[in-house]
């Protein structure tokens, strides 16, 4: 469990959520559990398969964090390891409203 968030972090998360609205073909939102110090980013993208969806979602998340003034230092090192280990929480499913 992480440390509780302060107002500055809450504002930053709001900026990330706003940045997600500016990314074409991405539907995203940010939720947080302030007392637990936990953040959830929910991103919906169109993709041909699970790996494509995961890659697009991670790129959208990184883009939004950067647009909000945040950093993703070491991204190029930890993301491939994370993806290879499949060590993250994700839910990938076909949309009932998409033309598949």
| Per-residue CA distances from 57 to 2, 36, 92 (Å) | 23, 24, 10
H/E element holding 69? none
Q: What is the mean pLDDT of the chain?
A: 81
Write out pLDDT tens, residues 8-44. Answer: 888 999 999 999 999 999 999 998 887 887 888 999 9
pLDDT at residue 53 greater than cutoff 90:
no
Nearest to 13 by CA among 57, 56, 59, 68: 68
Written as six digits, the tokens of 98 are: 């998409």
Q: What is the pLDDT of residues 83-94, one digit of tens each?
A: 777 666 665 555
- Please list, in sequence order, all residues whose beta carbon lies within 8 angstroms of the beta carbon of residue 30, skipping any fewer than 6 positions away: 13, 14, 16, 17, 20, 39, 40, 41, 42
Higher pLDDT, 79 or 91: 79
Q: Which of 5-9, 45-49, 67-71, 94-98 has the lowest mean pLDDT?
A: 94-98
pLDDT of residue 94: 52
Residue 22: predicted pLDDT: 96
Strands (E), 1-100: 26-33, 38-45
pTM recorded for the entire structure:
0.75
Q: Residue 24 has what pLDDT? A: 94
Q: Write the CB contacts of 31 (distance below 8 Å, at least 6 apart in sequence).
A: 39, 40, 41, 42
Helices (H), 21-100: 50-67, 75-85
The domains of the chain are located at: 7-85
């Amino acid at each position: 469990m992480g440390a509780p968030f302060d107002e500055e972090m809450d504002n930053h998360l709001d900026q990330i959520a706003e940045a997600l609205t500016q990314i074409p073909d991405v539907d995203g939102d940010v939720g947080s559990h302030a007392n637990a110090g936990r953040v959830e980013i929910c991103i919906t993208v169109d993709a041909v398969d699970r790996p494509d969806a995961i890659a697009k979602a991670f790129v959208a998340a990184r883009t939004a964090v950067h647009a909000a003034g945040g950093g993703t230092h070491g991204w190029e090192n930890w993301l491939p390891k994370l993806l290879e280990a499949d060590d993250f929480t994700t839910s990938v499913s076909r949309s009932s409203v998409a033309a598949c």
